């Protein structure tokens, strides 16, 4: 096993593994409504005026993906020569608190 020095640290490198580094990029798209409900997405509005049971994460609600957001995200991905997945799955437990 080889060693690579990085500053004052020495880390073992196992040649059977390849280092793969991924990036997770977050952005804010200028949609008219929020990502999972029809509430307006207007910055600067009075507190608690742009909320519904879905975006509040109430039990039993059914989030629906914002089509405008999906189209904008795909266009952004294409503009940066990214790979667009044909299927994306969002587990509900990750969407709601
Ligand atoms: Zn909402």
Ligand 1 mean position, distance from CA 40 (Å): 8
Among residues 67, 72, 83, which one has the least CA distance to residue 27? 72
The stretch 40-62 carries a mean pLDDT of 90
50: confidence class by pLDDT, cuts 50, 70, 90 = very high
Tell me how far CA of residue 8 lies from CA of 4, 82, 92, in angstroms.
11, 36, 44
Ligand 1 mean position, distance from CA 56 (Å): 7
- Sign, CA torsion 6/9/14/17: negative
For residue 1, is pLDDT > 60?
A: no
Ligand 1 mean position, distance from CA 41 (Å): 9
For residue 79, is pLDDT > 70?
A: yes
Ligand 1 mean position, distance from CA 77 (Å): 26
Q: What is the mean pLDDT of the chain?
A: 85
89: confidence class by pLDDT, cuts 50, 70, 90 = confident
- CA dist 74 and 27 (Å) reads 13
Ligand 1 mean position, distance from CA 97 (Å): 14
For residue 7, is pLDDT > 70?
A: no
Q: What are the residue ranges spanned by the domains of the chain?
A: 27-97
Ligand 1 mean position, distance from CA 4 (Å): 50
């Amino acid at each position: 096993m080889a060693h690579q020095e990085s500053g004052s640290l020495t880390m073992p490198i196992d040649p059977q593994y390849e280092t793969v580094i991924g990036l997770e990029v977050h952005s804010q798209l200028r949609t008219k409504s929020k990502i999972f409900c029809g509430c307006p997405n207007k910055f600067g509005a009075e507190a608690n005026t742009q909320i519904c049971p879905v975006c509040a994460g109430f039990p039993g609600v059914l989030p629906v993906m914002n089509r405008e957001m999906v189209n904008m995200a795909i266009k952004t991905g294409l503009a940066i020569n990214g790979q667009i997945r044909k299927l994306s799955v969002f587990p509900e437990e990750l969407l709601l608190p």
